[in-house]
Structure 1
Amino acid sequence: MIDYEDILNKKVVGVLATVSEDGPRTRAFQALWAENGKIYFCTGAQKPVYKQLTSTPKVSFCIENKFSPVMYFNGDVVVDENLEYKERAFQILPMLKKMYQAPTNPLFKVFHIHIKEIRTFSYAEGPKEYSLE
């Protein structure tokens, strides 16, 4: 299997798909880091995406870059209140300080996708699917 964590740990931007009351929603999101079959992100509790993540905690995250095939990560969302993870997010994205002042701000949320499956596609290799369960 491709070393997806190495790719995700390069702070790639991809498309995060959630489900809203009106149907699917997509938006660009930066992966903060990946480890142990999880991809970490952050957002604000006041944002519509947070409501979508908590009301229907199943998502898909898609990335494309010139060094790998297109990759789709499907799984369940877990909101993580671990202060260590919030501090790590602040180190990775210093601009968070302007938005939330401190990692302890109750509006600042870190969440991860617990990856259940990875799908890839390239013209050279075609589609592939990997299960992490």
Structure 2
Amino acid sequence: MSMQREAFLDQILERGEYATREEADRAARAVLALLGAHVVGDVREQVAARLPETFAVILLNPLRAAEPLTPERFVRATSAWIAGSTEQTATWDVSAVLSVTADLVGEDLVHRILLQLPPGYDLLFGRPQRALQ
């Protein structure tokens, strides 16, 4: 069952300490569009099924990634998509959105997402040093 859009944004707003829901929405859209380019197949579909519809559509119709981005380049790409963003604020944006998403989808699915990503994303999902066999 997917979470309501407002509840999802409120969690991102709180975790990211944003001033407005619009800021949380902008961060969510950029981060989930980039994440969708990196997560494929049934994992992407299962994540989308748990997101509010607006964000599920963004995840399922992602920006095209020429290659898997390292966590650092993922943050840089997010910064490029959010007006007025810096790498520091983009790190905050990515962590807020991905950690709320991780809480929403559950540990098993987070583990499957991390298996599709280059090393180091565990920190961005708020799951530092999870053993990834």
TM above 0.5: no
Structure in which a larger fraction of residues adopt helix:
2
Bigger RCO of structures 1 and 2 (CA < 8 A, at least 6 apart)? 2
TM-score normalised by length of structure 2: 0.29
Higher Rg: 1
Structure in which a larger fraction of residues adopt strand:
1
